[in-house]
């Protein structure tokens, strides 16, 4: 197996297992068995389990944040100093996620990949993975700080404390919705006989988040 393919196989296995079992419960032996490689390959490509976890996040976020920066440039230019609309700001993230997923060479099933990433993000906060939060802040803090400037401008009526709580309430609702998007879409199709997709889920989620954020 070529080096590039080996690293990809390890990342694929780690991503799936971490999202299914959690970070602490997934051993490197579990990952190497699923990937069909030996432990030396993990050490060679990633160095440690901690760095492998970070690489799993980076595989999604590198592409996402590059595209988000371009989206922010366009949005700020069109804004022209006016107060941004909160729903438009919130919609920027899912629109960018769908666009960045289209550019990956990993998996055409965007719904599945977004669900995995959101489960991983939830686990990073719930399972005491402080190194992940530190890594995310160091590597991607600049672009997300730019985004938060727009969120703040779109919600001037809120205090910083209220905004902090509401951001995390929105994150919780988003993680729950997108990590279970497959099941939710299937339930909606069964209950109402409608065709649904991930874009439709976002179109229903964003107004809900915006209304709750400004309540």
What is the tens place of the pLDDT at every residue in 78-126? 998 899 999 999 989 888 887 755 444 434 456 677 788 888 988 887 7
Structural contact between residues 107 and 113, judged by C-beta atoms closer than 8 angstroms: yes
Segment 163-183 shows an average pLDDT of: 89
Please list, in sequence order, all residues whose beta carbon lies within 8 angstroms of the beta carbon of residue 66, skipping any fewer than 6 positions away. 100
Q: What is the pLDDT of residue 80?
A: 86
Segment 15-22 shows an average pLDDT of: 92
Indicate the range of 1-5, 199-203, 204-208 predicted with least confidence: 1-5
Domains of the chain plus CATH, in order, are 1-47 (1.10.10.60), 53-213 (1.10.357.10)
Select from 55, 50, 63, 56 the least CA-distant residue to 16: 56
pTM of the complete model beyond 0.85: no
């Amino acid at each position: 197996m070529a080096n590039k393919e080996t690293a990809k196989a390890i990342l694929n296995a780690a991503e799936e297992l971490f999202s299914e079992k959690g970070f602490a419960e997934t051993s490197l032996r579990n990952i190497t068995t699923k990937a069909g490689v030996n432990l030396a390959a993990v050490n060679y490509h990633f160095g440690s389990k901690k760095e492998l976890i970070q690489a799993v996040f980076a595989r999604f976020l590198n592409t996402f944040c590059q595209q988000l920066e371009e989206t922010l440039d366009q949005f700020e230019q069109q804004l022209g100093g006016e107060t941004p609309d909160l729903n438009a700001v919130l919609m920027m993230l899912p629109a960018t996620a769908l666009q960045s997923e289209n550019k990956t060479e990993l998996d055409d099933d965007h719904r599945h990949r977004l669900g995995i990433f959101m489960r991983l993000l939830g686990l990073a906060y719930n399972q005491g993975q402080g190194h992940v939060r530190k890594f995310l802040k160091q590597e991607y803090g600049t672009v997300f700080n730019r985004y938060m400037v727009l969120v703040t401008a779109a919600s001037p009526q809120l205090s910083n404390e209220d905004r902090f709580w509401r951001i995390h309430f929105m994150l919780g609702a988003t993680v729950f919705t997108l990590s279970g998007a497959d099941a939710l879409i299937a339930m909606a199709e069964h209950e109402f006989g409608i065709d649904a997709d991930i874009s439709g889920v976002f179109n229903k989620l964003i107004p809900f988040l915006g209304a709750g954020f400004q309540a």
